[in-house]
Structure 1
């Protein structure tokens, strides 16, 4: 979204830098609309027609920044919160929608003027006092409270998405739709924004979140406020919080990248050893793709078996059963491809999971010796063939995290590498990452880069792997260098 590339207005930059509540936008957004504007203004759409989740996300605006101020009582799982959302109108707006589920809203203002709202969970329609002009920056403030509840999604039937409460622990795992369980947002990966989170908790709880921990402020000796900032654009499903009895462990740096992990106090020593490989992995992937895209990285490990891990931006979430080296590599790789380069729609999810699966195996091949990748990929090909795996680019919501996406997605990349050779393959991957860094990309965008960089028309070849109903044959080539040198 090119609007996000514009410099932030001074008021917004100061608000973020000082971690202050964000004030109203410049006077242009407060000017009374002309009669022509009022007549032309209309409501933004209540969904973005995503192929898998048509009602997720909303039209008519582009969010620039979320400032979330949450007061959390962990034992009772209750919050009192304010979300301040700075956005740019992409059309003349008489009303717009936010995705928000369950919690009680007490007040909404738009540009400091009281706004009317109606709810049909999970949609919340906001009607500002004055229509909003296309291109104007506007600020929406939502005050709310209650007990956040996770939701069930057909994409992940085994997991509760969004805000989760487990005794004296709170954790957020939202992919694909759970972000709306704890703050109002434009809940689609195509609308990325920066974040400030101020979270107040009772002592001795610790708060971990995305990005940089800016400060911890004492509140009357019994409470503390943690302020976190995420200055790189982030999709709503990647925003996270973990609140609990956690100890912070700082690992060896990778260049300028600070590595900070949050572990359960009773298991910190074992986990620190298990995740100590992170710096070496960052160096390895940086040599292939380009520098790690953020200033920090780390993991938050929960004190129980989770059954999966999630690549929340700069702070991946693991259960205490999930620290296998391949999984650590997989979630780290997502920081480049998935988080910094994000799919345009959920049907492009193979661009996340296929890449992370393949690069996880590149790491293991690098560690275990050449031959691991070739042998492993042939084995997975046989399993895909036996299982009649469908096309990774044409999945539905119920199978977007299936082996079709992960394994046939990874095989799509392996087949491309066999087809064009190592040198061209790694140039394609580097250019794909460079070109779309910080933004969103579709499958068509990936194919376009492959065609351009290779100098070949690979459209039919890649379409067969990505969209073909049958698994294509393996190209008859041999890999000679798993490092891309």
Structure 2
């Protein structure tokens, strides 16, 4: 894992301060001053990878992101977005060149510490050569000006075009189709968003509204700032004909739903469920970790726009409107699944994409508990977690053959059932072994220890061992990395279905993060 000190100043203030600090020559190594004889390494290009086990080309090293300021202007006539992203970063080594993740953006200008920088776009990297090398441990800004077309055809994209604007779904590896970034959940940063739109439309982003500006030409600019840092894959920016529905959750928590104006009344029964959902999960995992929560049923039911049900962008969950028009027992457990991601996935993000089971296993675990407490049968007709886990246990070796161990996915099977229900099975086994009280203590301790940061599977194992007072490393590693399914504590009668002699090959899931394997089953 890579850690950085939390930045407590607002992102906008950081950007201004960093620019003031780094525009002068003190931000650079003076030409002709070699590192020879000083014990410091010579400046060089930063690595263009963070060596993620699932997406090895994703992310960049040599620096850590501190803050992003996104300034986007949407043109409803052309559907184009004119944008400037300003990244405040701290170098971890002396750099002659650094890189950002970029795909499908037409970059026009790059400046480092206010000075024009040379750049090139190569595959999914934006390589930036500042006017002078950057010393190690320097804070500086990188400003990128570009144009984006939300309707552009790309191998993959975060843009969700709608008839009246767009939303974004960056998970797992597509934020860099919206803005230049260090696109990896281990490098969380503070954000501000300023979005300019025609006055007839509304712009919303992660966090809370801090400023509204009425501009000339019948345009309005909205500025949003989240209180907590965000992983790039969790950013939400949306534009459309929306109304904002505000209500209060437990302890006065502000709840904000962003709803298509034409469907606001029809969606109200689903939106009204949120306060009760928050109250239920707070009783188990503690206080909701952010300053606001709400739903974004963006104005598109087009299966070609996005073919998943929900996506947990930070402080807003993206949904298809039609899905939320169903009765409570059809949607309640999935709404809980997405809410749980505020804790597992958003507040505590995965250190690598191999740690996805921490997100999805926990979201399904509590989503299923919520379902069964209400007596709602699942798609198999089962009405208890024990019955569902017995069925899942029987599939264990088959899933390990076709989808790999729970904590060892690849890009093709990242969002298979193994990360969802397979993750639930691991948590169920842990709870059976250490007991209900110790399990809840593990959950809360893990969330508190890694709040606003990222954590790995090994971090979870360490917390579980410490809190339970017993070495659980062997037990949990067998469940998470073993090629065969371990015995279930307390259930010696449970059996695993034998794997056929010629197992089918793992099939690629093109519906990444579609939650078809989640608590809706």
Match of 1:352 among 348, 355, 359: 359
Residue segments in structure 2 that go unaligned for 5+ positions in a row? 302-306, 325-330, 378-382, 493-521
Q: Quick check: 1:302–1:318 contact (8 Å CA) kept in 2?
A: yes
CA displacement at 1:241 relative to structure 2: 1.1
Partner of 2:30: 33
Greater shift, 318-327 or 78-87, is seen at: 318-327
Aligned partners of 1:340, 1:194: CA distance in 2, in Å?
Answer: 13
Aligned partners of 2:5, 2:415: CA distance in 1, in Å?
Answer: 30
Aligned partners of 1:318, 1:7: CA distance in 2, in Å?
Answer: 31
Mapping for residues 123-142 of structure 1, pairs under 5 Å: 123-142=125-144
Mapping for residues 129-208 of structure 1, pairs under 5 Å: 129-148=131-150, 161-208=157-204
Partner of 1:316: 317
CA displacement at 1:367 relative to structure 2: 3.5
State the SS of the aligned residue for 2:366: helix
Match of 2:385 among 345, 350, 373: 373
Q: Quick check: 2:348–2:447 contact (8 Å CA) kept in 1?
A: yes
State the SS of the aligned residue for 1:362: helix
Aligned partners of 2:25, 2:469: CA distance in 1, in Å?
Answer: 48
Mapping for residues 330-409 of structure 1, pairs under 5 Å: 330-368=337-375, 372-384=384-396, 390-409=404-423
Aligned partners of 1:476, 1:335: CA distance in 2, in Å?
Answer: 32
Partner of 2:83: 81
Q: Deviations over 1:18-74 (max 9, x none)?
A: xx8974435585354361249710111011111011110000000010001111113
Greater shift, 288-297 or 54-63, is seen at: 288-297
Q: Quick check: 1:171–1:241 contact (8 Å CA) kept in 2?
A: yes
Aligned partners of 2:137, 2:127: CA distance in 1, in Å?
Answer: 20
CA displacement at 1:384 relative to structure 2: 4.5
Q: 1:448 and 2:446 equivalent?
A: no
Partner of 1:427: 441
Q: Quick check: 1:77–1:165 contact (8 Å CA) kept in 2?
A: no
Match of 2:44 among 42, 45, 57: 42
| CA distance 1:279–1:152, change in 2 (3 Å) | farther
Q: Quick check: 1:309–1:322 contact (8 Å CA) kept in 2?
A: no
Aligned partners of 2:233, 2:26: CA distance in 1, in Å?
Answer: 29
State the SS of the aligned residue for 1:399: coil
Partner of 2:507: none
Q: Quick check: 2:71–2:84 contact (8 Å CA) kept in 1?
A: yes
CA displacement at 1:242 relative to structure 2: 1.5
| CA distance 1:268–1:219, change in 2 (3 Å) | same
CA displacement at 1:227 relative to structure 2: 0.6
Residue segments in structure 1 that go unaligned for 5+ positions in a row? 154-159, 479-485
Partner of 1:266: 262
Q: 1:299 and 2:299 equivalent?
A: no
CA displacement at 1:363 relative to structure 2: 2.1
Q: Deviations over 1:346-395 (max 9, x none)?
A: 01111111111101122223444996322333333345566566411111
More strand per residue: 1 or 2? 1
CA displacement at 1:334 relative to structure 2: 0.4
| CA distance 1:28–1:375, change in 2 (3 Å) | farther
Q: 1:4 and 2:2 equivalent?
A: no
State the SS of the aligned residue for 1:297: coil
Aligned partners of 1:150, 1:189: CA distance in 2, in Å?
Answer: 25
TM-score by length of 2: 0.84
| CA distance 1:146–1:369, change in 2 (3 Å) | closer
State the SS of the aligned residue for 1:380: helix
Aligned partners of 1:29, 1:406: CA distance in 2, in Å?
Answer: 50
Mapping for residues 13-24 of structure 1, pairs under 5 Å: 14=13, 23-24=19-20
| CA distance 1:239–1:86, change in 2 (3 Å) | same
TM-score by length of 1: 0.90
Q: Quick check: 2:164–2:299 contact (8 Å CA) kept in 1?
A: no
Partner of 1:417: 431
CA displacement at 1:448 relative to structure 2: 0.8
| CA distance 1:6–1:180, change in 2 (3 Å) | closer
Q: Deviations over 1:130-157 (max 9, x none)?
A: 211111101011111242456767xxxx
| CA distance 1:278–1:184, change in 2 (3 Å) | same
Aligned partners of 1:353, 1:151: CA distance in 2, in Å?
Answer: 29
Aligned partners of 1:301, 1:374: CA distance in 2, in Å?
Answer: 33
Aligned partners of 1:349, 1:5: CA distance in 2, in Å?
Answer: 23
| CA distance 1:464–1:44, change in 2 (3 Å) | same
Q: Quick check: 1:162–1:178 contact (8 Å CA) kept in 2?
A: yes
Aligned partners of 2:396, 2:299: CA distance in 1, in Å?
Answer: 34
Greater shift, 316-325 or 376-385, is seen at: 376-385
| CA distance 1:151–1:198, change in 2 (3 Å) | same
Greater shift, 309-318 or 223-232, is seen at: 223-232
Greater shift, 132-141 or 26-35, is seen at: 26-35
